[in-house]
Structure 1
Amino acid sequence: MADTIYALSSGAVPSGVAIVRISGERAVEAFTAFGIAVPEPRRATLHNFVVDGEVIDRGLVLFFAGPHSFTGEDCAEFQLHGSPAIIAAVLRRLSSLPTFRPAEAGEFTRRAFANGRMDLTEAEALSQLIDAETEAQRRLAMSGAVGRQLALISGWQKTLTRLRARLEAELDFSDEGDVPAEVSEEACRALGDLVQVMERHHQAFAGAEIVRRGFRVALAGLPNAGKSSLLNFLAGRDVALVTDVAGTTRDRIEVNLDLEGYKVVLSDLAGLRDTDDVVERMGVNLALQTARDADLVLWLDEKGREPQSSDFSNDVLKVQTKADMASMRADDRDWISISTKTGEGIASLLALIVGRLRDRLPFEDAVPPATDRQRHHLASSIDHCNRALSRWNELPAEMIAEELRAASFALGRLVGQTDAEDVLDEVFSAFCIGK
């Protein structure tokens, strides 16, 4: 008999309400342990929780009979007051029951996966949904959580199976003349069409990653260019020190913004200049590296001086700062003038940042890989298909069919149909306790 697991699933206490979740073959014993009769499935009822003859709390209880539960097992749920003392007493009582133990990170979701309640892509999407900070992250995670990824992959697998069947029919019956000669050519074209679709979704991974981790924007420029002032203005608080002394900022200071539902990570960097100060020079080197790794660089300069072309190899937006003091505006249309004192140009600057971000997003109906693990298996499947295409007229039909079988197997690993235990350990360890 597998252990019955339990955990506080609603976050840290104290809180207004705390939820304790129990799952396993003996989950119903959690009710009787507190003097509560097992309730009717899926019906919330109010009860006293009794331990050693003393009422410790009064709250709602629910029972979900397997397989019609999140985990596919019998599940109990207690909705209690979020007092540390109450929760400690409840968890202590549960720990005294035979075969009951605290759940490990992600164990409820892992049991749901093991019991066929979700596939691995849905489990990973659920983890990202819990961590979502912005509306765009929520939408992206939700597209995987509702099974769109599985439906897409299943369709690709069915196509590969049909193509293998055509090839095997050609192999088995070619001597009898029952299979038209154009069957192989049609299969080759169909595989080519499938690869184009798979590659399109694979390429959408980069844009999806920007949504998940945030659009990284580096504030770069010479000392006293107004980088820290802009960071503080956009953050709405004093995050970085602002002085007239050049070289004040020596480390990387980051602030997360939510712009139109997208996460944007702003990095305030050390002013770029030659210096004999060891610490400042380290800050300059860090600034250059951060700017090179960023999705967008805002080059800030109050006089409209151009950035050194050797400093950045990525997207650069040129910003003339201190517009309220500038005696001369940059007239190049590639520059935008702003002032953190008057707010001039800030709205336009934010609109430009969001515009650059949207240029990098995946196409609207894309269901890109949600993790590096998924991306790896999708790339592997595409590689097998491309090997089959590149040597379609050279290799025997059975070798082409084997490449297609390997491609389908890679897709199976993507959705968790054939994954080793250590891979599953890594996937579910990223979850929080209680989920």
Structure 2
Amino acid sequence: MWRGLSALATRAARAPRRLCARRSSGAGPWAPGSTIFALSSGQGRCAIAVIRTSGPASGLVLRSLTASREPPPARSACLRLLRHPRSGEPLDRALVLWFPGSVPGLRPAEAGEFTRRAFAHGKLSLTEVEGLADLIHAETEAQRRQALRQLDGELGQLCRGWAETLTKALAHVEAYIDFGEDDNLEEDVLEQADKDVRALEAALGSHLRDARRGQRLRSGAHIVVTGPPNAGKSSLVNLLSRKPVSIVSPEPGTTRDVLETSVDLAGFPVLLSDTAGLREGVGAVEQEGVRRAHQRLEQADLILGVLDASDLASPSSCSFLDTVVAPLVAQSPDSCGQRLLLLLNKSDLLPTSTRDSDTALLGMPYLLLSCRTGAGLDGLLQALKTELAAVCGDPSTGPPLLTRARHQHHLQSCLDALSHYQPATDLALAAEALRLARRHLSHLTGGGGTEEVLDLIFRDFCVGK
């Protein structure tokens, strides 16, 4: 239980920023016995501000501000006149909420300290804390949904279920070690433990083979726009980002470096890269741009290949189809390789009578688009939504995603420990493998008491959270 908490909701955000910028002497960060305060509603001018305190001296602070001997009724909002604690000058009228359990030492809260106290008192698991941090920083609808699922405890509950399976298996193995010759022990106790452990191994392996979808959803998928010169790549980037990111010109080779912008596409976070047109026999500067374009292609999660629909037979278009598109199309559908959407831009220049015959020569799926008129944009956005759901995972359905490298590390370590579970060879070593595997799962949801890990997780929280 927190030893004290009060919140003052005032009509104007008058709390000075310097209150959150210094630390009182003798009270280091995360000191459990100190009283902390912060502007919880965020910086800047606003109609309502929430000032939050937590710790032993919260009651004293509340009484000094409201000139009252007694705080308001517990967990009830009361309208009180706030006064300067020394001069008695009226400051504002505010709603006061009091959560009792209070007494001495007040200092500004560290970033994330309120949440860290909730974690320390068992009100939030570590994965739920990470979900709250992701929700604070969410910029797209898909990120918000994923963060809410993690904040609701879905990933933590899944891990706790796995830990219970390991605990039960460990209990069975240790019972067999101690009472293996006892007639009261069920005959198939080891077989059941082995069956449960092998099922858990399969579940862990399935989550670890998610191709980092959760991490892409949290940090953003990388989409690279590529193609021969003058196909309309820069026009497409400007169209998708809804701002003039790239210079558009009829002169081939205008883009000579990689231009990148963050975009919300169909609710998914995306880093969109505009690259130099791929061609040979150009100057030194454009050659470097082409080299960087190839480098970005190797890093891409999704590639948007753009061709001029009115000039499919040109040498540059044919070369792009042979060297870039064909190898990607030849990939196995079950592989975790890069994904491709082929776009035929400038469809407005194609006569209707020849459109089907000209494009049928490609022999592969494509989308028709006109960046100039916007025709075909809705179809492209729907295709991007489908592809991004495959790359990032759908946050609305399926099992909870692993959103951080830390999750991957502990699950992989758990799986590695289970690889040493061989009860037929040595029961004592098998029991130790189960203990180690269970320890890694506890690290995932509880941090394992490692202060460096906790500091890293709470570092990016807002002050007042």
- Normalising by structure 1, we get a TM-score of 0.85
**Shift in Å at residue 276 of structure 1?**
5.7
Per the alignment, in what secondary structure is the counterpart of residue 368 of structure 1? coil
**Greater displacement, 149-158 / 320-329:** 320-329
C-alpha distance in structure 2 between counterparts of 1:249 and 1:402, whole Å: 59
> What residue number does 1:59 align with?
94
Per the alignment, in what secondary structure is the counterpart of residue 172 of structure 1? helix
Per-residue displacement from partner, 1:127-181 (whole Å, max 9, x unpaired)? 0111112222111111111122222222211111111111112212223454455
C-alpha distance in structure 1 between counterparts of 2:180 and 2:432, whole Å: 18
Relative distance call for 1:203 and 1:63 in structure 2 (3 A) is farther
Which one of the candidate residues 359, 380, 388 is aligned to 1:330?
A: 359
Per-residue displacement from partner, 1:243-275 (whole Å, max 9, x unpaired)? 123332233333344344322332222222346
C-alpha distance in structure 2 between counterparts of 1:213 and 1:49, whole Å: 43
Structure 2 residue 197 is the aligned partner of structure 1 residue 197: no
Per the alignment, in what secondary structure is the counterpart of residue 334 of structure 1? coil
Q: Indicate if the aligned counterparts of 2:214 and 2:393 stay in contact, CA closer than 8 A.
A: yes
**Shift in Å at residue 339 of structure 1?**
0.5
Relative distance call for 1:163 and 1:56 in structure 2 (3 A) is same
* CA RMSD between the two structures: 2.4
> What residue number does 1:30 align with?
61
> What residue number does 1:385 align with?
418
Counterpart amino acid of 1:265?
L
Q: Indicate if the aligned counterparts of 1:124 and 1:370 stay in contact, CA closer than 8 A.
A: no
Q: Indicate if the aligned counterparts of 1:4 and 1:26 stay in contact, CA closer than 8 A.
A: yes
Structure 2 residue 40 is the aligned partner of structure 1 residue 9: yes
C-alpha distance in structure 2 between counterparts of 1:175 and 1:237, whole Å: 76
Gaps of 5+ in 1: 67-73, 76-97
Per-residue displacement from partner, 1:15-48 (whole Å, max 9, x unpaired)? 2222221111111222233234322222222333
**Shift in Å at residue 278 of structure 1?**
4.6
Matches within 5 A, 1:90-105: 99-105=105-111
Counterpart amino acid of 1:373?
R
Counterpart amino acid of 2:372?
K
**Shift in Å at residue 422 of structure 1?**
1.4
Counterpart amino acid of 2:141?
E
Structure 2 residue 231 is the aligned partner of structure 1 residue 254: no
Matches within 5 A, 1:293-308: 293-302=299-308, 303-304=311-312, 305-306=317-318, 307=320
Matches within 5 A, 1:6-405: 6-37=37-68, 38-51=71-84, 52-65=87-100, 99-204=105-210, 206-274=212-280, 277-302=283-308, 303-304=311-312, 305-306=317-318, 307=320, 311=324, 314-326=338-350, 329-331=358-360, 332=362, 333-362=364-393, 364-388=397-421, 391-394=422-425, 396-405=426-435
**Shift in Å at residue 380 of structure 1?**
0.8
Relative distance call for 1:400 and 1:237 in structure 2 (3 A) is same
C-alpha distance in structure 2 between counterparts of 1:351 and 1:235, whole Å: 16
C-alpha distance in structure 2 between counterparts of 1:10 and 1:274, whole Å: 56
Counterpart amino acid of 1:63?
W
Counterpart amino acid of 2:445?
V
Relative distance call for 1:308 and 1:393 in structure 2 (3 A) is farther
C-alpha distance in structure 2 between counterparts of 1:285 and 1:40, whole Å: 69
> What residue number does 1:71 align with?
none
Counterpart amino acid of 2:340?
V
Q: Indicate if the aligned counterparts of 1:135 and 1:261 stay in contact, CA closer than 8 A.
A: yes
> What residue number does 2:5 align with?
none
Of all paired residues, the percent bearing the same amino acid is: 37
> What residue number does 1:406 align with?
436
C-alpha distance in structure 2 between counterparts of 1:195 and 1:114, whole Å: 31
Q: Indicate if the aligned counterparts of 2:276 and 2:290 stay in contact, CA closer than 8 A.
A: yes
- Normalising by structure 2, we get a TM-score of 0.80
Counterpart amino acid of 1:152?
L
C-alpha distance in structure 1 between counterparts of 2:46 and 2:459, whole Å: 26
Per-residue displacement from partner, 1:63-86 (whole Å, max 9, x unpaired)? 2235xxxxxxx69xxxxxxxxxxx
Relative distance call for 1:36 and 1:148 in structure 2 (3 A) is farther
C-alpha distance in structure 1 between counterparts of 2:437 and 2:225, whole Å: 44
Q: Indicate if the aligned counterparts of 1:34 and 1:50 stay in contact, CA closer than 8 A.
A: yes
Q: Indicate if the aligned counterparts of 1:385 and 1:404 stay in contact, CA closer than 8 A.
A: yes
Q: Indicate if the aligned counterparts of 2:253 and 2:276 stay in contact, CA closer than 8 A.
A: yes
Q: Indicate if the aligned counterparts of 1:205 and 1:362 stay in contact, CA closer than 8 A.
A: no
C-alpha distance in structure 1 between counterparts of 2:247 and 2:67, whole Å: 59
**Shift in Å at residue 199 of structure 1?**
2.3
